[in-house]
Amino acid sequence: MKLSDFDYELPEELIAQEPPAERDAARMLVLYRSEQRFEDRQFRELPSFLQEGDCLVLNDSRVLPSRLFAGTSEMLLLEPASEDAREWRVLVRPGRKIRPGDVIRFDDRFAAEIIAGGERGERIVRFLGDEDVYAAMDRLGHMPLPPYIKRRDRPADRDRYQTVFARERGSVAAPTAGLHFTGEILDRVEHIAKVTLHVGLGTFQPIEREDFENHRLHFERYSISRESWREIESARRVVAVGTTSVRTLESAALSGTMAGSTNLFIYPGYEFRRTGAMLTNFHLPRTSLLLLICAFAGVDLTLAAYRHAVAERYRFFSYGDCMLIL
């Protein structure tokens, strides 16, 4: 297989620029792996597809308002680089002009000193002053909407680019399959387990080689509580919400470790150990996320379903519609 085998044509107007008026109003394309077929449904029907003994697994990572602006400069906070969270790994723009020793001031209370360089705009920074970094992000930060959403974030995105069950702060992108859930939908689900995987930019980085098996993902931090793992192990079927929940489950099953970092890259040929069904949004072509879906649903069925979704004018990507793979 080559990376070019995992491509599809997508009209730009199908990329959702806004969330739906109601969280749970998405369309849902249901794939039946054993029957090699799919059908058009609505996300609100999801609970009716769950069986007795199913456990729905949610990623409760919380998206940080991690984009900071200072004049013509921009900084995206990726993850803490020190125990006290005063030093962070960040991306800066313009990368060529911002160098170690520079101080970037966001306002009269909050500033950052560049203390080390890196590749592709990455830097290590130390935040100056007494203000808590997370408090400063809440005060000054913008939500890190993905680049295919061609607009600046708005105050409403603080709520809508966040799941209703988000708890553990640390992601720089939303686990988007979870965005569809409301409290009312969750109340209709009998067994729920929560895991945490802090979504980093590595999840979305393009694959730049046709022999994709040699691609390396960035590490992302994950954790699963003992209570959640017991719920997962006792389930008749584990229904993972999103590719991040899948990678968390599979990383724990492979390593036997309930907390750590993972760069697990799942592509066709992978043998799933915990994931029995999956809810997911649609993903960009030629990405590790689409490869993971193809590994679970099969390449032919997945790409046929994507072509159907395009023909039926589903809404794509973060604020778009979803698929349920059974």
**What is the predicted pLDDT for the residue at 285?**
95
Contacts of 203 (CB under 8 A, 6+ apart): 173, 217, 218, 220, 243, 244, 288, 289
Strands 237-241 and 220-224: unpaired
Which two structure tokens, joined as six digits, stand for 221?
Answer: 């931090």
Superfamily of domain 3-63+156-325: QueA-like (3.40.1780.10)
Structural tokens at position 314: 């589903």
Q: Measure the CA–CA gap between 282 and 325, rounded to whole angstroms.
A: 12
**182 has a pLDDT exceeding 70:** yes
Q: How confident is the model at residue 152 (pLDDT cuts 50, 70, 90)?
A: very high
- Cis amide prior to 11 (ω within 30 degrees): no
Instruction: Answer yes or no: are the C-beta atoms of 186 and 192 closer than 8 Å.
Output: yes
Specify the pTM: 0.96
Instruction: Look at residue 326 and tell me whether its pLDDT is greater than 70.
Output: yes
- For 267-322, what is each residue's pLDDT tens digit? 999 999 999 999 999 999 999 999 999 999 999 999 999 999 999 999 999 999 99
Lowest pLDDT segment from 185-189, 210-214, 267-271, 296-300: 210-214
**Tens digits of per-residue pLDDT, 232-261?**
999 999 999 999 999 999 999 999 999 999
- pLDDT reading at 204 higher than 70: no
Phi-psi region of 102 (alpha: psi -120 to 50; beta: other; left: phi over 0): beta
Residue 205 confidence (pLDDT)? 74
Average pLDDT of the chain? 96
Phi and psi torsions of 89, nearest 5°? -85, 130
Token pair recorded at residue 148: 């295919």
Question: 180 vs 91, 153, 231, 297, 318, CA distance in Å?
Answer: 29, 19, 23, 21, 10
- Count CB neighbours of 277 within 10 A: 20
By the 10 Å C-beta count (0-12 exposed, 13-18 middle, 19+ buried), 88 is classed as: buried
Query: Which of 252, 307, 298, 211 lies closest to 32 in space, CA to CA?
Result: 298
Q: Alpha-carbon Rg of the chain, whole angstroms?
A: 20
Question: CA angle 319-143-23, nearest 5°?
Answer: 30
Integer Cα distance of 75 and 95 in angstroms: 10
> Cα–chain-centroid distance for residue 289?
9
Domain 67-140 is found in CATH 2.60.40.2130: no
Q: What span, in angstroms and rounded, lies between the C-alpha atoms of 153 and 27?
A: 24
Q: CATH 3.40.1780.10 spans which residues of the chain?
A: 3-63+156-325
> Amino acid identity, residue 166?
A
Nearest alpha-carbon partner for 65 in 160, 138, 169, 152: 138
Mean pLDDT, range 29-56, rounded to an integer? 98
Q: How many CA atoms lie within 13 A of 168 on its CB side?
A: 16
d(CA 161, CA 175): 9
Q: CATH 2.40.10.240 in the chain, residues?
A: 67-140
What is the rounded CA–CA span in Å between residue 133 and residue 88? 10
Pairwise CA distance, residues 271 & 37, whole Å: 21
Place of tokens 């090699």: 36
